[in-house]
Structure 1
Amino acid sequence: MNKKHKRYGKRTIGYTKMIAGTAALAVLLTACGGGKAVENKEKTGSTGQQQATASTNSSAEQQPGSTATSKVQPEALAQEMLNGNFSGIYQRFSDPFKEDITEKEFSEMSASFIAGVKSFTPGYVSLLNGGDQRFWKSDAGDKGITALFDPSGTIFQMAITHLETHPDTDKIKTKIAYELPLRGDWYIFWGGNNEMENAHYSFAAQRYAYDIIRVVDQYSFKGDPLKNESYYAFGQNILAPADGTVVSVVNDIADNVPVGVMNEKHPEGNVVVIDHGGEYSYLAHLKKGSATVKPGDKVKTGDVIGLLGNSGNSSEPHLHFQVSDGADLFKSQAINIQWKNNLDPIKGMTVTVKP
């Protein structure tokens, strides 16, 4: 986590939950983050690359260069961008988004963004809590689009971004092969080697971190979404991902209540750090008082070290997991994880680990 920002990762697009199938929107849950997901301006990221995010409005204005005005379907959004159908996309924006930017501004931003792009390749499709979030990457791999749709196809969030890359560190993997520190079916909420698949990617200290939740029938909870106990992940066993020695434990941070309220003063929340011989795993946001280990304890792969919680800078019960080159999360650099069984988890993927 970046101490200055007091959060995991710089982007907080996350997913937005649709309640009871209505168009009403509750921006509640964004693993390792939170807050407003979109902006109506171009900005320069930490590497000097530009990022443009749209959450848009004002009275619709027909723009020169728009080749069509038909409303686009979710799967066709990127192609419609290339076709110049900015008006058709804009018509899909929710009314709150249309309060942030005019159709003219969106069209100008989009036209500039697609310059030089020949095609977009579809990436993840994340169907979660009533939302449909999609990602496309340009043929050169340097630009990305994400959009979040409700069941009717209305666009509640959209981002067009110049993707930063770190090929030198991307190709360096951990020396040890790690197991996912969970058992059963788990959903990768954030994970991947670009900032649209992984909100941590912009920060070297967290670049290859994962946020992991549990999903049943495309929902991460059942019942009252403000209660931790409603989430399928809450209270599940967290396991040692490899043999090692526990070097530090935090165990007294309260779980966030209600869900959606985050503790930025203690961003990791309850956390166990394990030394695997010069590589250190971090298992964060554990349930208060659930850690079963203490500094100096030897652990074996699969040993229970605590329970999944919602402590720290966490907007829903989930596990933040990463491996770094040092024991201090803020002073170390994350390492791209080599997984056992050729696992390669990325955002939107469900990973099954047998007991």
Structure 2
Amino acid sequence: MILAGEYERLYVQFSEDLKKMVKLEEFRSLGEEFTKDIDSFQLLSNMQVNGAESLVWNDISESKELTATVDAKGTIIGIQILPHEPHPETDDAYSKTLFNLPFGGEWLVYWGGKSRFVNYHYEYEQIRYAYDFLKEKNGYTYEGNPKLNDSYFAFNEEIYAPAEGVVVEAIDGILDNEPVGKMNEEQPAGNMVLIQHTNGEYSTIAHLKKGSVKVKTGDTVTTGQLIGLCGNSGNSSEPHIHFQVSSGTDENKLTTLPITFKDGLEPIRGDIVSGTINKQ
């Protein structure tokens, strides 16, 4: 619709809150400037979860991106257009270690990929290629009271070592956030396990459940070994797993790496991925 200049038709679908943020003429002006050298958009990501649909498009040259969020009634509750700012110096610098997904069964990629609209981590060097995984059933990540951790399908799910290595840090004892939505910004990773692999690479699995961490610093772990349970500790808005690979451990100097997954997997936001790890 934007390429066709149908701004009024789109604008009437905006929520009242969104209309307060941007007036029709401002929306039209921004849209015309943004699309003046674009012939078409292609759908990059489509995620439907918890009553909302989030869509991301980019142009053929992958230089510009558009995202929109629509609620269950078809009301547009969010829309944003931005140039795509890639990081060519690291976007293809994949890990030398081959990793498995750190879980079994089907999980939703909530954040993941190489652009800001599919992966909010992408703006920040220290977490640029990280993934956030949740579990969903029939389009929802929970059943029952959304304020309770036990209502979420990801909570208590077993989490495994994604590759063999040595545990260099294991944190346990941090409370899981409850009510869900309350976040612990002072201990952002929450309960976590940091594993050193070959080639000077490290994997981090964060937001584990309090009291569930099964390994300690110095332990040697094998691929598929149980390391803990999915929780909601740290800077986490709901039970999920944060997974990233880096070239070091110093928070001020580390560089995250695009993850080389088994079977060539390269998931992005909205994908459903299946963990095939053989637990030990």
Cα distance between partner residues in 2 of 1:159 and 1:282 = 31
- Partner of 2:96, secondary structure, is strand
CA contact (8 A) 1:192 1:347 kept: yes
> CA separation of 1:329/1:230 partners in 2, compared to 1, >3 Å: closer, same or farther?
farther
CA contact (8 A) 1:238 1:307 kept: yes
Taking the TM superposition and a 5 Å limit, the aligned residue runs for 1:82-93 are 82-93=3-14
CA contact (8 A) 2:230 2:240 kept: yes
Amino acid across the alignment from 1:143: K
2:171 alignment counterpart: 250
Instruction: After superposition, give the CA deviation of every residue in 1:91-126 in whole Å (9 maximum; x if it has no partner).
Output: 110111111121111111111111211110111111
How many Å apart are 1:269 and its aligned residue? 0.9
Say which structure, 1 or 2, has more relative contact order (CA 8 Å, 6+ apart). Answer: 2
1:204 alignment counterpart: 125
Amino acid across the alignment from 1:266: Q
Cα distance between partner residues in 1 of 2:275 and 2:208 = 20
TM-score (norm 2): 0.96
Cα distance between partner residues in 2 of 1:351 and 1:139 = 26
- Partner of 2:210, secondary structure, is coil
Amino acid across the alignment from 1:109: L
Query: Unaligned regions of 5+ residues in structure 1, if any?
Result: 1-79
- Decide which of 253, 263, 276 is 1:331's aligned counterpart: 253
Taking the TM superposition and a 5 Å limit, the aligned residue runs for 1:72-91 are 80-91=1-12
Cα distance between partner residues in 1 of 2:72 and 2:146 = 19
Taking the TM superposition and a 5 Å limit, the aligned residue runs for 1:1-355 are 80-277=1-198, 278-354=200-276, 355=278
Amino acid across the alignment from 2:243: F
CA contact (8 A) 2:158 2:226 kept: yes
Query: Unaligned regions of 5+ residues in structure 2, if any?
Result: none
Cα distance between partner residues in 2 of 1:242 and 1:236 = 18
1:9 alignment counterpart: none
CA contact (8 A) 1:246 1:295 kept: yes
Amino acid across the alignment from 2:95: T
1:19 alignment counterpart: none
1:49 alignment counterpart: none
Amino acid across the alignment from 2:261: W
Identity of aligned residues (%): 43
Cα distance between partner residues in 2 of 1:159 and 1:165 = 18
- Partner of 2:108, secondary structure, is strand
Instruction: After superposition, give the CA deviation of every residue in 1:19-74 in whole Å (9 maximum; x if it has no partner).
Output: xxxxxxxxxxxxxxxxxxxxxxxxxxxxxxxxxxxxxxxxxxxxxxxxxxxxxxxx
How many Å apart are 1:151 and its aligned residue? 2.4
Cα distance between partner residues in 2 of 1:329 and 1:251 = 19
How many Å apart are 1:152 and its aligned residue? 2.4
CA contact (8 A) 1:165 1:194 kept: yes
Q: CA RMSD in A?
A: 1.0
> CA separation of 1:330/1:188 partners in 2, compared to 1, >3 Å: closer, same or farther?
farther
Cα distance between partner residues in 1 of 2:189 and 2:251 = 9
Cα distance between partner residues in 2 of 1:81 and 1:190 = 26
Amino acid across the alignment from 1:285: H
Cα distance between partner residues in 1 of 2:73 and 2:229 = 37
Cα distance between partner residues in 1 of 2:266 and 2:204 = 19
Q: How many residues align?
A: 276
CA contact (8 A) 1:275 1:327 kept: no
How many Å apart are 1:330 and its aligned residue? 4.4
Amino acid across the alignment from 1:307: L
> CA separation of 1:346/1:335 partners in 2, compared to 1, >3 Å: closer, same or farther?
same
How many Å apart are 1:353 and its aligned residue? 2.0
Cα distance between partner residues in 2 of 1:119 and 1:330 = 40
